[in-house]
Amino acid sequence: MKLKCKCKKVEVLADFVITKGNVNPILGLKTCVELNLINRVEMVVLNDKDKFISDNHDLFQGLGKFYEKCSIELRDDVKPVVNPPRRVPLSVKDKLKDKLKELECKGIISKVEKPTGWVSNLIIVEKPDKSIRLCLDPKYLNLAMKRIPNVLIPTVQEIMTNLCNKKVFTVLDLKDGFWQIELTKDSSDLCTFSTPFGSYKFHRIPFGIKIAPEYFQYLNEKNFDDIRGVTVYFDDLLISADTEKEHDEILKKVIERARQMGVKFNKNKLQFKQESVRYLGHIFSSEGVKVDPERVKAIEGLKAPESKKELQSLLGMLNFLRPFISNLSELTSSLRGLLKDNVVFEWLPCHDDALVNIKKVLANSPTLVSFDTNKEITIQADASQHGLGCCLMQEFKP
């Protein structure tokens, strides 16, 4: 039999089948569609980011590997050091054993059966999710290493200048960055470490090696820095352009180069074709650069330091954000006074007031415009008995 069915303003005549028994009525698919209770989608349309990942899925799967290997060079006047294994807490011993097996299966480490000249300790870092990360503790090996020459790490100010008037951004993060760089055989032997389950050695650059960041910067600059519109900062590649068309052309070159180099990206950290991006603890956009709100929130939640060491850590965090905090020297004058050798650390109400004031200034920090070489420069300067400061301005903006 046919009955009228109504949902909101839609009314249809539906076929009903009468059956015996105490059961609930069920609407068929056809009636549900007619009443707009169900929307039928013929094809799932991916957004731009998902489509980009789908089209380049090979670059977002597995562990990458640069074709160039890293060779660790030591000074001639050093003697090898062998460290005995450290005891591991029972709470992480099983996790360590499982992690060693996992990394061995991935080819990142392997068991060492013969004695080696250098043996370092292992540092086990527990993550928030209770999993662990293995880092080398190469104290003596680092002292013996030669640095990588002529590697200059860009500053935030230099990056800001490169991004002047840019409107479209993408950030690509190299997944497990250091582990994408293979060590030479001799260098791998140098990265031997001891555990309660025997000795192992790294075949990829481990966390803790002194030259790892600068070698990573060198390698990425060598492979990507010649592409105009690409900024390299360790394992992060920032693509910036004036237009979407220009951005897509740059991105295409980066993707082609990445395949040639054998590297992989982290899809969970991909920031794709956006008007603003998080980069180096800042927010970069066409308007300039500002402090990441998450960083501001973290500082706002900080409690008063209870020792000189904690105060030094706080001042270090604030110094990183110095360009965004007007009159920082004067604002921190009373706090820095507590760090003097002849002063006993005693946190007073005046220090509380100073910290609250700094947090207020930081919460209202300005967006710094990117430096434009074509615009006039104005220098605003000021001084007091506690400090001095200046600000470089263009069109009355810092």
Whether the Cβ atoms of residue 240 and residue 168 lie closer than 8 Å to each other: yes
Which residues on adjacent β-strands are paired with residue 200? Answer: 111, 193
Residues 171, 282 contacting (CB under 8 angstroms): no
Query: What pLDDT score does 41 carry?
Result: 58
Kindly report, residue by residue over 36-69, the tens digit of the pLDDT. Answer: 887 765 544 446 899 999 999 999 999 999 999 9
- DSSP annotation of 193 reads E
Which of 43, 34, 44 has its CA nearest to residue 12? 34
Residue 248 to residue 169: CA distance in whole angstroms: 10
CA distance 354 to 386: 14
CA nearest 108: which of 183, 202, 212? 202
Q: Which segments of the chain have a pLDDT < 50?
A: 43-46
Going by their DSSP bridges, the two strands 132-137 and 276-279 should be labelled as: unpaired
Is 359 within 8 Å of 300 (Cβ atoms)? yes
**Would the pTM of this model clear 0.85, i.e. be above it?**
no
State residue 317's pLDDT score.
86
Sign (positive or negative) of CA dihedral 341, 342, 348, 350: negative
Closest CA relative to residue 173, chosen from 264, 236, 229: 236
For the record, the structure tokens of 370 come out as 């990117």
What token pair was written down for 275?
């008007």
Please give the pLDDT value at position 44.
46
pLDDT of residue 43: 47
- Go through the domains of the chain in sequence order and give each one's CATH number: 90-285 (3.30.70.270), 295-394 (3.30.70.270)
Which residue intervals of the chain are DSSP H helices?
Answer: 29-34, 48-55, 90-105, 139-144, 156-162, 185-190, 212-224, 244-261, 293-300, 308-320, 328-331, 333-336, 349-363
pLDDT (0 to 100) of residue 386:
64
Q: Are 146 and 73 in contact (CB under 8 A)?
A: yes
